[in-house]
């Protein structure tokens, strides 16, 4: 398989638009043309996966393809934007038809249900690296951001947390991970439907890619507020025999979750619960948005247990170049 055969294959597997009017020019020329149908803004995001850093050698091609789309879809979910197109920059050590087929299977598992079309990209030789850029036309005023949280909002989170952290910890110690935790690590389901339903209802949202407390901190700083979160209210995937401290660390600071954390005006809490039920995504109320402490005597995101005692965290989340 050569470069052009590979691009042709990617085009057939992932790049055929249902309606050509939506993508007047896709793969094949020097740039793609994406129709916006008069939408005032195009949302764009990019996420890159580097072998050895974001996934290990034991990930299958399909797991890598799934993950590369999943982490990007999660960013759009957090904005409440429906994804339409993507660009794929692939750097591969060699061109292997079977590997590419598996990779496309993993991508198609997400692109097909989301009607997401590959519009172009790049293919180069080098250390394995996958970069995806998503596009979605949108109405500016309906987009969810990190800056809209208001004092008194309820803080909510989707899904059950801790799985990816515990699965990674087990893998790093050469042990087999709990299957449920491992599934969340390998096949994180981005919450696109929930995010889009929350647009216009929630005040602020973020996806938990680097750890709940750290990511909630971004909403706090963006919105000029503080938060109080009850650790015992957070649904978790930790098996019963996991020590409490480790479970809390996993839930509060474990990354790679790709769940949504969002804030909702208290009077909309019931509506949001019903809406999540309709979509079939579990959500939980885990705390409230408070006024920022001008003197910064307290951490921005204060964590307590069900008795109200403060919970100390060793690390609030993941950071590159710490
Ligand atoms: P150039 O040499 O001008 O950069 P390429 O030969 O890299 O052009 O790409 C030719 C066409 O194939 C372009 O339309 C580009 O978007 C598309 N393409 C290249 N790599 C990929 C890829 N990994 N996924 C999808 N489309 C690709
Ligand atoms: Mg190129």
For residues 157 and 206, is the Cβ–Cβ distance under 8 A?
Answer: no
Answer yes or no: is the C-beta of 134 below 6 A from any ligand 1 atom.
no
Answer yes or no: is the C-beta of 168 below 6 A from any ligand 1 atom.
no
- CA 38 to ligand 1 center in whole angstroms: 27
Give per-residue pLDDT as tens, 2-60. Answer: 999 999 999 999 998 877 888 999 999 999 999 998 999 999 999 999 999 999 888 99
- CA 281 to ligand 1 center in whole angstroms: 37
> Ligand 1, closest atom to CA 90?
23
Shortest-distance ligand to the CA of residue 122: 1
Token digits for 278? 């309709």
This prediction has a pTM of 0.93
Answer yes or no: is the C-beta of 104 below 6 A from any ligand 1 atom.
no
Mean pLDDT on 182-208: 96
> At residue 191, what are phi and psi to the nearest 5 degrees?
-95, 55
Shortest-distance ligand to the CA of residue 10: 1
Between 75 and 20, where is the model more confident?
A: 75
**Of 87, 94, 140, 157, residue with least CA distance to 118:** 87
Mean pLDDT on 168-174: 89
In the predicted structure, residue 180 carries a pLDDT above the cut 80: yes
> Ligand 1, closest atom to CA 29?
14
Mean pLDDT on 236-253: 92
Answer yes or no: is the C-beta of 271 below 6 A from any ligand 1 atom.
no
In the predicted structure, residue 151 carries a pLDDT above the cut 60: yes
Shortest-distance ligand to the CA of residue 100: 1
Q: Within 13 A of 55's CA, how many CA atoms are on the CB side? A: 24
Give per-residue pLDDT as tens, 85-137. Answer: 999 999 999 999 999 999 999 999 999 999 999 999 999 999 999 999 999 99
Give per-residue pLDDT as tens, 58-71. Answer: 899 999 999 999 99
Answer yes or no: is the C-beta of 88 below 6 A from any ligand 1 atom.
yes
Q: What sign for the dihedral angle of Cα 204, 209, 212, 217? A: negative
Answer yes or no: is the C-beta of 27 below 6 A from any ligand 1 atom.
yes
Which of 1, 2, 5, 7 to mutate for ligand 1's pocket (most ligand atoms within 8 Å of CB)?
A: 7
- Predicted confidence at residue 320, as pLDDT, reads 57
- Predicted confidence at residue 19, as pLDDT, reads 79
Which of 33, 46, 103, 120 to mutate for ligand 1's pocket (most ligand atoms within 8 Å of CB)?
A: 120
Burial 118-129 (b: 16+ CB within 10 A, else e): bbbbebeeeebb
- Predicted confidence at residue 141, as pLDDT, reads 87
- CA 89 to ligand 2 center in whole angstroms: 9
Shortest-distance ligand to the CA of residue 88: 1
How far is Cα 15 from Cα 43, in angstroms, rounded to an integer? 19
With a CB cutoff of 8 Å and minimum separation 6, the contacts of 150 are 203, 223, 225, 263, 265, 289
Q: What DSSP line would sit under 50-108, residue for residue?
A: EBTTTB-TTS-HHHHHHHHHHHHHHHHHHHT----EEEEEEEESS--HHHHHHHHHHHH
In the predicted structure, residue 183 carries a pLDDT above the cut 60: yes
Give per-residue pLDDT as tens, 270-320. Answer: 999 999 999 999 999 999 999 998 777 677 999 999 999 999 887 666 665
Answer yes or no: is the C-beta of 30 below 6 A from any ligand 1 atom.
yes
Mean pLDDT on 143-165: 97
């Amino acid at each position: 398989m050569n470069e052009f055969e590979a691009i042709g294959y990617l085009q057939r597997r992932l790049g055929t638009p249902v309606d050509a009017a939506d993508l007047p020019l896709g793969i094949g020329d020097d740039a793609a043309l994406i129709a916006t149908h008069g939408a005032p803004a195009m949302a764009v995001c990019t996420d890159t996966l580097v072998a050895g850093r974001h996934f290990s050698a034991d990930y299958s091609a399909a797991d890598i393809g799934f993950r590369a789309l999943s982490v990007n879809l999660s960013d759009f979910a957090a904005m409440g934007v429906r994804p339409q197109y993507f660009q794929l920059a692939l750097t591969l050590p060699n061109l292997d038809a079977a590997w590419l087929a598996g990779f496309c299977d993993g991508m198609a598992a997400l692109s097909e249900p989301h009607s997401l079309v590959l519009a172009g990209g790049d293919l180069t030789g080098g250390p394995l690296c996958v970069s995806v850029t998503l596009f979605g036309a949108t109405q500016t005023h309906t987009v969810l951001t990190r800056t809209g949280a208001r004092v008194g909002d309820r803080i909510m989170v989707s899904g059950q947390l801790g799985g990816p952290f515990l699965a990674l910890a087990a893998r790093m110690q050469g042990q087999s991970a709990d299957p449920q935790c491992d599934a969340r690590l390998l096949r994180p389901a981005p919450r696109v439907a929930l995010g889009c339903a929350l647009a216009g209802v929630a005040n602020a949202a973020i996806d938990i890619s680097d750890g709940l407390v750290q990511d909630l901190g971004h909403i706090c700083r963006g919105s000029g507020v503080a938060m109080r979160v009850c650790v015992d209210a957070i649904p978790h995937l930790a098996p019963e025999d996991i020590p409490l401290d480790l479970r809390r660390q996993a839930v509060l600071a474990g990354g790679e979750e790709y769940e949504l954390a969002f804030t909702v005006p208290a009077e909309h809490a019931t509506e949001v619960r019903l809406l999540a039920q309709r979509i079939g995504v579990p959500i939980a109320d885990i705390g409230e948005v408070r006024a920022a402490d001008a003197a910064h005597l307290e951490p921005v995101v204060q964590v307590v247990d069900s008795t109200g005692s403060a919970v100390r965290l060793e690390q609030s989340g993941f950071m590159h170049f710490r």
